Amino acid sequence: MTPDLPADPLASRPTSPVTTPHVTLAHISDPHLPPPPVHWRAALNKRALSLLSWKKHRQYVHLAQTCAALVKDIGHTGVDTILVSGDLTNFGTPDEFAEAARWLEALPAPALVIPGNHDCMVRQPASVGLSQWEHWSARQYPYVRIQNGIAIVGVNSGIPTAPFMAYGRVGRRQRERLEALLEHLGQEGLCRVVMIHHPPKRGLVPWRKSLLDHREVAALLRRTGAEIVLHGHSHDATLTHIAGTDIPLLGVASASLTDERPHRQACWNHLTIHPYEGGWHIDLARHRLDGSVSERASWKRSRQERSGRKQAGRTDA
């Protein structure tokens, strides 16, 4: 079965052979870029509460200079691609989408992005919202970009929610496309790196911030397999697994957050993916702002594993 790929020539181009010894990825999330002024008419909805939170607290802990230092460190490493797993904005206004597009353009390596709950805070025409990021994503989700045997799959879990809620949902139609896509990419022998904002696992965030269909997404991943899943949203640097599988589930702290707790301090995930005869070696180095490494891990993922149920090798440092 041919998967329902986005109507995008970059996303649906034929798989290219592996031509380099490895691919390097930087994974960041939740930069919550400083917002331009919000017109009062744009705040006559849920944005009003988020704006109040920004004024009272969030602007003092989500700092532009923190995010800039993190991006500078990424630039020193020469990664191939930067993956941004959502919440570039605070209120999801059209002006914020435009500012975030300029930020994506200025990153030190080509970027891919998915939206988060803040980016989808209220319903609005795509032309003033998500379409402004289409150059770094796609018109339809899930999307895929393929680089030297590595398939980056972007999933949209952001939906408008009631006040005080920040949950997400992938939804039945997107799950169906995602299952077909992952199955196809697996049959092609590609390394499938799935990027989603809300973690598809219970317990990493409170219910009001959870992925409502996390059980369905996890069941999908058990059937199709994936080599690794990346998420944001929690603002925590975590390393777990998709329930019932050995598929690594990798979270990252907010790219702009100042926090005394080590697992909440701004950081980024440096992933190096090496092909080998039977599959892929994935190495993780979690970077602090100063460039030091706070955590290392590695996995050996086999191309023959159509699902994530088998055990794969992992070492931690």
More reliable by pLDDT, 17 or 244:
244
Indicate if the pLDDT at residue 220 is higher than 80: yes
Handedness of CA 180, 81, 27, 68 (dihedral sign): negative
Rounded to an integer, the average pLDDT of 166-193 is 97
Read off the pLDDT of each residue in 145-150 and give the average, rounded to a whole number: 96
pLDDT, greater one: 6 or 79:
79
CATH of the domain spanning 23-36+56-316, picked from 3.40.640.10, 3.90.550.10, 3.40.50.720, 3.60.21.10: 3.60.21.10
Beta strands in the chain (DSSP E): 23-28, 81-84, 111-113, 143-147, 150-154, 191-196, 228-231, 239-241, 248-250, 268-276, 279-287, 293-302, 314-316
Distance between CA atoms of residues 76 and 56, nearest Å: 35
Q: What is the C-alpha to C-alpha distance for residues 190 and 1, in angstroms, rounded to an integer?
A: 16
Averaged pLDDT for residues 296-304 = 89
**Are 191 and 227 spatial neighbours (Cβ–Cβ below 8 Å)?**
yes
pLDDT at 44: 60
Q: What percent of the chain has pLDDT over 70?
A: 87
Supply the pLDDT for residue 43: 60
When pLDDT is averaged across residues 295-299 and rounded to a whole number, the result is 97
Residue 108: is the preceding peptide bond cis (ω within 30°)?
no
In the predicted structure, residue 56 carries a pLDDT above the cut 60:
yes
Q: What is the pTM of this model?
A: 0.89
Average pLDDT of span 64-78:
97
User: Which of 287, 269, 305 has its CA nearest to residue 25?
Assistant: 269
Could you tell me the CA-to-CA distances from 104 to 65, 75, 78, 82, 190 in Å, in that order? Answer: 16, 13, 16, 9, 26
DSSP 62: B
Environment class of 299 (CB within 10 Å of its CB; exposed 0-12, middle 13-18, buried 19+): buried
Q: Looking at residue 40, what is its pLDDT?
A: 53
